[in-house]
């Protein structure tokens, strides 16, 4: 794939003091992790992820939701970071200030070496109690699904943010600060429909900050982006890095 980047994009990236990046499930697609809105496979094909990733679904059928996350955890456990993840880790070493905000719950940015990743939606490999909220990463596989909390005997759940649940104040405030402070904002591999994450690039746009979308498909924000790079992040990001910092 021969790619010509707009010269002023490369200049802006190279001269940026603060680069902010928001990633979505598309950045993990080339690692074999199905994107959030991809058709789910096998026995999960008949479920809409948006219906399962809610406290209501967990209350209604805790075993089903727990088993869905156990299936997704098995996919994530086998996944390895792809060239896009490594390129973002590399980019952070080229710029004075770099903020990586992710909607993903798969931990692949950290595995690729990115530090201080803002996980807006939590991490699928972490577990907490649905009742008392304590983190419970060690629990006996009692055979019960979901397992129970050793502190209050409540049901355990993945430590992710479900639809209808608030994001943690800490993650959200840091993400908005970066969107407001950065010189260029890259929105990579996200369908830009989930809020409040999708309002981060808008925050930057409204301040006149240059914004870049990297996605093979169009999203509702595509028409508003300063630059649109249509293609897979695992291919485009390494090329963008090489074109911006060739030596
Ligand atoms: C909140 C963790 C306040 C769990 C996730 C009505 C009622 C109630 C709420 C709402 C409502 N209307 C709006 C809301 C708010 C709601 C929302 O945004 N709903 C939308 C979807 C309609 N948001 C919330 O509820 C948030 N909380 O607002 O709290 C509140 C409180 C009470 C009541 C109301 C509000 C919580 C949102 C977080 C939900 N949890 N994940 C889990 O993972 O199981 S979000 C979920 O979507 C995933 O984390 C995912 O990361 C995220 C965003 O999706 P994307 O990452 O964009 O992935 P997607 O599959 O959609 O797109 C992939 C993209 O990649 C595509 O564009 C594709 O083209 C592209 N792609 C494919 N291959 C590649 C690629 N790109 C690059 N390279 C490739 N190779
Ligand atoms: Zn508990």
Residue 131 contacts residue 149 (beta carbons within 8 Å): yes
Q: Whose CA is nearest to atom 35 of ligand 1?
A: 164
> Ligand 1 pocket test: which of 22, 35, 84, 122 has the largest number of ligand atoms within 8 Å of its C-beta?
35
166 sits in the region (left: phi over 0; alpha: psi -120 to 50; else beta) called: beta
Using the mean position of ligand 2's atoms as its centre, give its distance from the Cα of residue 131 in Å.
5
What are the residues whose beta carbon lies below 5 Å from ligand 2 (ion)?
Answer: 129, 131-132, 149, 151-152, 154
> How many residues comprise the chain?
247
Domains 1-32+81-121+166-247 and 34-78+127-160 share a fold: no
Q: Parse the chain into domains and list their residue ranges.
A: 1-32+81-121+166-247, 34-78+127-160
Instruction: Note the pLDDT tens digit of each residue in 52-85.
Output: 999 999 999 999 999 999 999 999 999 999 999 9
Q: How far apart are CA 166 and CA 169, in angstroms?
A: 8
Ligand 1 atom with the shortest distance to the CA of 198: 18
- Which residues lie below 8 Å from residue 210, measured CB to CB, with a gap of 6+? 9, 12, 183, 184, 185, 226, 227
Q: Whose CA is nearest to atom 77 of ligand 1?
A: 189
Position 37 scores a pLDDT of 74
Q: How far apart are CA 121 and CA 237, in angstroms?
A: 23
Q: What is the dihedral of CA 3, 7, 11, 12, to 10 degrees?
A: -80
| Among 104, 242, 111, 94, residue whose Cα is nearest residue 161 | 104
pTM, two decimals, is 0.96
Which architecture, in CATH terms, is 34-78+127-160?
2-Layer Sandwich (3.30)
Q: Residue with structure tokens 């904002």?
A: 185
DSSP secondary structure letters along 123-135: EEEEEEETTT--B
Question: Token pair of 206, please?
Answer: 């409204």
Q: Which fold has domain 1-32+81-121+166-247?
A: Rossmann fold (3.40.50)
Using the mean position of ligand 2's atoms as its centre, give its distance from the Cα of residue 184 in Å.
42
Q: Residue with structure tokens 């003091």?
A: 17
Using the mean position of ligand 1's atoms as its centre, give its distance from the Cα of residue 245 in Å.
32
Residue 221 contacts residue 192 (beta carbons within 8 Å): yes
Question: Token pair of 55, please?
Answer: 């406290």
Q: How far apart are CA 221 and CA 209, in angstroms?
A: 14
Q: How far is CA 76 from CA 28, 29, 46, 107, 120, in A?
A: 10, 11, 21, 8, 17
Position 39 scores a pLDDT of 61
Position 228 scores a pLDDT of 98
Q: How far apart are CA 68 and CA 47, in angstroms?
A: 10
Three-state DSSP at 209 gives coil
Position 126 scores a pLDDT of 97
Residue 129 contacts residue 50 (beta carbons within 8 Å): no
Catalytic one of 121, 126, 224, 242: 121
Position 209 scores a pLDDT of 98
Q: Whose CA is nearest to atom 24 of ligand 1?
A: 163
Using the mean position of ligand 2's atoms as its centre, give its distance from the Cα of residue 130 in Å.
7
> Taking the mean position of all CA atoms in its chain, how far away is CA 192?
11
Task: List the pLDDT tens digit at each of the 247 positions of the chain.
Answer: 678 999 999 999 999 999 999 999 999 999 999 887 776 767 777 888 889 999 999 999 999 999 999 999 999 999 999 999 999 999 999 999 999 999 999 999 999 999 999 999 999 999 999 999 999 988 876 788 999 999 999 999 999 999 999 999 999 999 999 999 999 999 999 999 999 999 999 999 999 999 999 999 999 999 999 999 999 999 999 999 999 999 8
> Does residue 36's CB lie within 6 angstroms of at least one atom of ligand 1?
yes
Instruction: For residue 126, indicate whether it is catalytic.
Output: no
> Ligand 1 pocket test: which of 1, 25, 54, 64 has the largest number of ligand atoms within 8 Å of its C-beta?
25
Q: Residue with structure tokens 């808008």?
A: 202
Question: Which residues does residue 228 pair with via DSSP β-bridges, in sequence order?
Answer: 213
> Does residue 161's CB lie within 6 angstroms of at least one atom of ligand 1?
yes
| Among 157, 174, 6, 155, residue whose Cα is nearest residue 68 | 157
Q: Residue with structure tokens 């910092």?
A: 245
Position 110 scores a pLDDT of 98
Instruction: Note the pLDDT tens digit of each residue in 147-185.
Output: 999 999 999 999 999 999 999 999 999 999 999 999 999
């Amino acid at each position: 794939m021969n790619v010509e980047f707009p010269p002023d994009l490369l200049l802006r990236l190279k001269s940026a003091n603060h680069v902010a990046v928001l990633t979505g499930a598309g950045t993990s697609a080339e690692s074999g992790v199905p994107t959030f809105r991809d058709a789910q496979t096998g026995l999960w094909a008949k479920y809409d992820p948006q219906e399962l990733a809610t406290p209501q679904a967990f209350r209604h059928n805790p075993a089903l939701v727990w088993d869905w996350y156990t299936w997704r955890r098995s996919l994530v456990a086998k996944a390895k970071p792809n060239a896009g993840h490594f390129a973002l880790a590399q980019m952070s070493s080229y710029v004075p200030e770099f903020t990586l905000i992710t909607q993903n719950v798969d931990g692949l940015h950290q595995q690729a070496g990115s530090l201080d990743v803002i996980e807006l939606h939590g991490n699928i490999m972490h577990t907490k109690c649905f009742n008392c909220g304590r983190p419970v990463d060690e629990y006996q596989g009692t055979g019960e699904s979901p397992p129970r909390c050793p502190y209050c005997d409540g049901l355990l759940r993945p430590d992710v943010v479900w639809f209808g649940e608030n994001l943690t104040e800490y993650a959200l405030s840091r993400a908005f600060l970066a969107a407001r402070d950065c010189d260029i904002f890259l929105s990579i591999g996200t369908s830009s429909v989930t809020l409040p994450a999708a309002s981060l690039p808008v925050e930057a746009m409204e301040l006149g900050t240059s914004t870049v979308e990297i996605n093979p498909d169009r999203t509702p924000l595509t028409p508003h982006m300063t630059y649109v790079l249509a293609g897979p992040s695992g291919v485009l990001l390494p090329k963008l890095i090489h074109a911006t910092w060739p030596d």
